[in-house]
Amino acid sequence: MAASLRTPGSDPWLTLLPPDLAPAHTATGVDVIRVAGGARLAGSVRVSGAKNSALKLMAAALLAPGRSVIANVPRITDIAIMAEVLRRLGCEVAFTGDEVAVDVPEAPGAAADYDLVRRLRASICVLGPLLARRGQARVAHPGGDAIGSRGLDMHIRGLEAMGARISNEHGFVLARSDRRLTGAPVWLEFPSVGATENLLTAAALADGVTVIDNAAREPEIVDLCAMLTAMGARVRGAGTSTVEVEGVDRLAPVRHVVVGDRVVAGTWAYGAVMTRGDVTVTGADPRHLAVALDKLVDAGALVETRGPDAFRVRMDERPRAVDVATLPFPGFATDLLPMAIGMAAVSAGSSLITENIFDGRFMFINEMTRLGADVRTDGHHAVVRGREGLSSAPVRATDIRAGAGLVMAGLCADGITEVSHAHHIDRGYPGFVDDLRSLGAVVERGPAPEEPSFGF
């Protein structure tokens, strides 16, 4: 039943796959973004559905045999990889515009391939649905962005409380249950998004009631709960720290529209302030960015809410320095930390930026300092002394959000900044260069220059 993404004549989403997964005729080799400093971002930009929701909704489709359709899906690399994960589990996946149709067989496969899972952290979210549907799952330890350790301990303890037996062998998580999972109380040491998602999907088909205490509250969790409820699950407390799931015998496929991407929206908001611009963002709920937008107001920006899915950010002067500390939702999102550091780098005064979620989030700081940013780190704190402007340099994107943050910083630098490894940005920002151009930036993509040969 499965159709490989490598099949000739498949849809254009093939071009989004990494070169070693895509067919040779679709690989572009484009890997560098060149951006000219001095532009003022101005205009309107629309964001698509949230990457961090769409990926999990695609995995949740495994819970119901038949065709589920997920709309408002961003056209990014990670979605193409998740489609291949599902295909190799026996599903048929088709793309039409911004919709993804997932046809799930009565007995999907139970093993998620290493070569795909290592590229995409979100692919671990197939663990819960497969365990619930098949009573077994074999999923490689996930990869994804290099932003620090993100263990699976809470996933495993929660699933074990529901009756699963879990072991680690040869780089794989092996999960098995000889009978239907049983609802249980689960307390999370930290409101982990991934653990909450796996437990929600596993509990939807479990026998009895599962109560998840200290659950993640992110809008993407609420979006997953909405889809599960539409499929026939009984979920109460979505968006609160205690979520209760009463398991049912069978779920039905549905059509679901993905919530807007608050991180992409926040990226444009911070870019507007950094460049003293005027940007209207549509497609995302400003309430999902309340803390991040409040920081922009503190920096001196004018922020106007324009309905349930739009807001405007205008900045006429150099931003004032503000302190930022990342926290689980509803706090300041860790994914926006590179943008916060970029803004602090051109602000008047000194900012204290604290990262409380991922221990490797500061890995890109060396690249930011190559652009002239004055940043000093100490553990999970960074002190940023703002400067009037930055200086262009060749830099490297180390992850999705760092890449976007470096491009925004390049807008504040003199000359041309080259951001290499732009494929990272493709994993989270659909049409990134086109959107930048529409807002007035002078930017292009091109092939990475060849490495010099020194004859040895």
Q: Is 51 annotated as a binding residue?
A: yes
Residue 454, C-beta contacts closer than 8 angstroms, at least 6 positions apart: none
Phi-psi region of 440 (alpha: psi -120 to 50; beta: other; left: phi over 0): left
Q: Is 121 annotated as a binding residue?
A: yes
Q: Is 400 annotated as a binding residue?
A: no
Please write the tens of the pLDDT for every residue from 283-314: 999 999 999 999 999 999 999 999 999 999 99
Instruction: Work out the average pLDDT over 356-360.
Output: 84
Task: Say if CB 345 and CB 353 are below 8 A apart.
Answer: no
User: In the prediction, which pLDDT does 149 show?
Assistant: 45
User: In the prediction, which pLDDT does 198 show?
Assistant: 95
Residue 53, C-beta contacts closer than 8 angstroms, at least 6 positions apart: 219, 220, 223, 224, 258, 259
Instruction: Work out the average pLDDT over 231-247.
Output: 97
Per mean pLDDT, which range of 195-209, 229-243, 353-367, 394-408 is the poorest?
353-367
Question: CA 162 to CA 125: how far, in whole Å?
Answer: 16
User: In the prediction, which pLDDT does 169 show?
Assistant: 81
Residue identified by tokens 């968006």 is: 239
- The model's confidence at residue 11, banded by pLDDT at 50, 70 and 90, is low
CATH number assigned to the domain covering 51-257: 3.65.10.10
- Candidate list 145, 223, 261, 435, residue with the active-site label: 145
- Does the pLDDT of residue 4 top 70, yes or no? no
Domains 26-47+260-447 and 51-257 in one fold: yes
Residue 364, C-beta contacts closer than 8 angstroms, at least 6 positions apart: 338, 397, 398, 399, 402, 405, 406
Nearest partner of 259 among 285, 233, 231, judged by Cα: 285
Q: Is 115 a catalytic residue?
A: no
Please write the tens of the pLDDT for every residue from 62-106: 999 999 999 999 999 889 989 999 999 999 999 999 999 999 999
Q: Is 357 annotated as a binding residue?
A: yes
Percent of the chain with pLDDT over 90: 77
Q: Is 153 annotated as a binding residue?
A: no
Question: CA 117 to CA 103: how far, in whole Å?
Answer: 20
Task: Say if CB 283 and CB 265 are below 8 A apart.
Answer: yes
Domains in the chain: boundaries: 26-47+260-447, 51-257
Pick the CATH number of 26-47+260-447 from 3.40.50.300, 3.40.50.1220, 3.65.10.10, 3.30.200.20: 3.65.10.10
Tokens (6 digits) for 197: 């998602």
- Does the pLDDT of residue 451 top 60, yes or no? no
